[in-house]
Every structure is written in structure tokens, then in C-alpha cells.
Chain A
Amino acid sequence: TQLLEQSPQFLSIQEGENLTVYCNSSSVFSSLQWYRQEPGEGPVLLVTVVTGGEVKKLKRLTFQFGDARKDSSLHITAAQTGDTGLYLCAGLANAGGTSYGKLTFGQGTILTVHP
């Protein structure tokens, strides 16, 4: 079973601060996705990174996939109260065997941005 360790589990910061969330694994993933979830709703995809070393930016959010495709990070610059929510990383298993198509999720990071 592939595991994704996500840290920190909780993050409480002031508006304007920067933060980074990490996802680490001993397994290689073919791609990695980041989701955001609001209370009472299902997760919504933010980004997918596919290539080792890839960096993607979404406004103030920067996503990076590790060179070995075993880890990823999400960096938020100048956090705003609207960034508050649960952030989840999810790794897609490599093709082959019955694990193909399976997404493994990290435990999630609950981010609270205070005004």
C-alpha cells in the first residue's frame, strides 16, 4: 500500500503570512494532485503535477513535484482569509497491475488564516 504523509496537519496563521504544506512518500507516483475542500462539500481539484521537478503556479499558490516524483509541496504567498480550508494531496499510482487508477490521499492540512 502506498502512503502519503502530509504535514503539517494543522496550520493557523495571520493574513499576509506565507506557508508551505508538504506531501512525502517512499513510493513513486505517476502524478500528484492537490485538492481544496470546504466544509460540507467535496474536494475540488487545484492542480495536477506530472513531471518530476515540475512547478506550477496558480495566482498566489505554487505547487512543486519532487524530482523523483515521491514528494510535493504547496506554497501560499501572502495568505488571505479566503484561503482557509482543508488542503489534500493525492498521488496517482503508477500504471500496471491492479493498483492502476488508484489515488492515495494524504491526511490533509487544515489551514486557518486569521484577519
Chain B
Amino acid sequence: EAQVTQNPRYLITVTGKKLTVTCSQNMNHEYMSWYRQDPGLGLRQIYYSMNVEVTDKGDVPEGYKVSRKEKRNFPLILESPSPNQTSLYFCASRISSYNEQFFGPGTRLTVL
């Protein structure tokens, strides 16, 4: 089944404890993105990647890191999480700029 998977789905952590949210797609898509969703703000892009080793900042990249060492995986790294990073995070992929974007199921992160 074609899909985008994210892990974990739920995470409660404390300020400053490094964490990684994994994202994997099995559709051989070139483009992958990370978004955060907050009430009243919609989806805001954190980082995106157009191919392996090619990444660029989105609208809200501060406090986040990404890597794209292989086509299928696009992990999101929070080196030192803070409470303002409490949010619902979505990974997404698409085959090209103009095609449908497929979203993962989301990761609900709480930073205490």
C-alpha cells in the first residue's frame, strides 16, 4: 500500500531532550516536506526536500533540523525542544511540484 509513515504518533518529552521524528514513504517520491499544524494557523512548512541531499527552509525552520540521506526517509530532528514546539507534525511527500501531496498520519508532540 502506498503510504507515508511517521513515528512516533504521540510523544511527550521535556525541554532540552533531543528527539527525532521519523518519516518514510514507499512511493519513490522526489519531494518531501515537514509541516506543523497549530489551531488558527493552518499548516506551516518547516523544511522541504527536493531530492536526496537537497533540503531548504520553509516558513518556520528555527529549532528544527532535517536530513535526506536516502530518498525514502526524511527525519525531523529537534536538538533542544522547547514548549513552543508543542504541536501536531505532518510529513508529506509528492512525486513532483505539481502533483498530489500525500500526508502521513501525524505526530502529536508535547514538550513540557
Contacts and interface: CB of A to CB of B under 8 A. Distances in A.
B44 interface: yes
A103 B50 contact: no
Contacts of A31: 98
A30 B99 CA distance: 12
Contact of A48 (B40, B92, B100, B105): B100
Interface residues of B, number: 26
DSSP class of B's interface residues: helix, strand, loop or mixed? strand
Interface in A40-76: 40-45, 48, 50
B90 A42 contact: yes
Nearest to B38: A107
A25 interface: no
A101 interface: yes
Contact of B45 (A42, A88, A103, A107): A103
B106 interface: yes
Closest 9 CB pairs of A and B: A42-B103, A105-B43, A107-B42, A105-B42, A45-B100, A101-B97, A108-B42, A43-B103, A42-B90
Interface of A: 1, 6, 9, 30-31, 33, 40-45, 48, 50, 88, 90, 92, 95, 98, 100-108
